[in-house]
């Protein structure tokens, strides 16, 4: 199967200007039941709320720009060409503290059973 970008589900955050393009999800008709993937774009100033996932490992591959990756008590700067991982139940989040877009693909294996937000009012 071949899909154009226009045919893939595209979502916008209600928290800021982040956007997500579904690549391998229940919304894209590909026979991949043990893997999920999205392309995430953080515009300047965007950040996600701290959260963790139940039932999966999470891998991030940076395509463009750079941004801060928080996992547990540590923070790293990730840039294009770098990758990072978090294990099941490891609290993590990203923020774009630059003037350019920060873009990465995130993979879950398998798809998470649940996503838990550290603060329910900050999703």
82 vs 123, higher pLDDT: 82
80 located within any domain:
yes
Check: CB of residue 59 under 8 Å from CB of residue 106: yes
3 located within any domain:
no
105 vs 120, higher pLDDT: 105
Q: What is the DSSP letter of 108?
A: E
**What tokens appear for 51 in the block?**
């959260």
Helices (H) and strands (E) in the chain, counts: 0, 11
**What tokens appear for 52 in the block?**
């963790």
Mean of pLDDT values over 24-45: 83
- pLDDT the model gives residue 96: 97
Q: Cα separation of 32 and 67, whole Å?
A: 29
18 located within any domain:
yes
7 pLDDT exceeds 60?
yes
Check: CB of residue 92 under 8 Å from CB of residue 71: yes
* Position 59 confidence tier, pLDDT thresholds 50, 70, 90: very high
Give me the CATH number covering residue 90: 2.60.120.10
55 located within any domain:
yes
5 located within any domain:
no
Domain span at residue 47 reads 10-117
- pLDDT the model gives residue 83: 98
1 located within any domain:
no
40 vs 120, higher pLDDT: 40
Apex CA 77: angle with CA 71 and CA 79, to 5°? Answer: 120
Query: How many domains are contained in the chain?
Result: 1
Mean of pLDDT values over 71-100: 96
């Amino acid at each position: 199967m071949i899909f154009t970008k226009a045919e893939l589900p595209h979502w916008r955050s209600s928290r800021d200007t982040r956007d997500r393009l579904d690549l391998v999800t229940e919304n894209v008709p590909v026979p991949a039941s043990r893997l999920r993937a999205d392309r995430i774009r953080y515009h300047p100033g965007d950040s996600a709320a701290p959260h963790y996932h139940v039932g999966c490992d999470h891998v991030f591959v940076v395509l463009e720009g750079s941004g801060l990756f928080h996992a547990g008590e540590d923070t790293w700067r990730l840039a294009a060409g770098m990758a990072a991982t978090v294990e099941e139940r490891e609290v993590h989040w990203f923020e774009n503290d630059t003037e350019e877009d920060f873009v990465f693909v995130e993979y879950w294996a398998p798809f998470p059973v649940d996503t838990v937000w550290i603060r329910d009012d900050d999703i």
